Amino acid sequence: MKRYLLIAVLGATQLANVMAQEKPKPQDTEFYTPVPAVVTPGKTIANVPSDAIVLFDGKNLDQWVSTNDKSPAKWIVKDGVITVDKSKGNIETKKTFNNYQLHIEWLIPANINLEGQSRGNSGLFLASTGPGDDGYELQILDSYNNKTYTNGQAGSIYKQTAPLVNANKKPGEWQTYDVIWTAPVFNEDGSLKSAARVTVLFNGVLIQNNFELAGPTQYIGKPFYKKAHGATPIKLQSHGDKSVPISFKNIWVREL
């Protein structure tokens, strides 16, 4: 009888020891490495963080080339601002990117003319996958008071999804896009491993919240991932309409 009692007591002690060891502690989920790099934030959202790559600093288009022939970009640079030259076609970055955070400012001129998709149309191709408009377009347009299809208005992922809200400012006022882009990943056989995702703040307002893209922008028909790709340039659109051209400034990117 004594023996059984001893075994029972020992068993209980061992069980208590095990339970004490396994009881979760706050420290279990507190990590000290790796230490995040120190980055000095800008004074406003428009100021460049210390670890950003500046794509346009107001002086020249040295970071950009023509999309079609990779010759030096020929849009107009004046008074610290880039203005689209529609006769020169799309421009894209020399450098290629995978995942990134990007800031860009754009201006629809106060004297903007025409309507619908012809009113200040440009576009930020989050990844340029080829000539012309090949890639994934975040639409730029005057959507302050300009009716068009919602998944084609400013802040839409063109022909895929409308923005969550319309955060446009009036023509004549500078506007900002802050974008977090997660590039698609492809398997070795070219099939899709994980789709592209995007989060966008328009003038500081969330308009795309981790939206998963069905593929690159497709003007006609449903988008799908037709071709595997790695790191790509970032592209700006010269849309083929006849409206007054729009402008850009203060463009920077942080690789993630």
**Interaction site with Mg ion (CB under 5 A):** 121, 123, 237
Q: Would you say 52 or 208 has its CB closer to Mg ion?
A: 208
Tell me whether residue 129 or residue 237 sits nearer to Mg ion (CB atom): 237
Query: Alpha-carbon dihedral of residues 221, 223, 229, 231, nearest 10 degrees?
Result: 120
Structure token pair of residue 247? 């402008």
CB contact at 8 A, 208 and 199: yes
- Residue found under tokens 């203005």: 83
**CB of residue 140 vs Mg ion: minimum separation in angstroms?**
6
Sequence-distant (6+) residues with CB within 8 A of 69 are none
208 contacts 198 by C-beta, under 8 angstroms: yes
Nearer to Mg ion, 232 or 238 (CB): 238
160 and 151 Cβ atoms separated by less than 8 Å? yes
Q: How far is the CB of 94 from Mg ion (least distance, A)?
A: 22
Q: For residues 135 and 184, which CB has a smaller minimum distance to Mg ion in the complex?
A: 135
The residue at minimum Cβ distance from Mg ion is 123
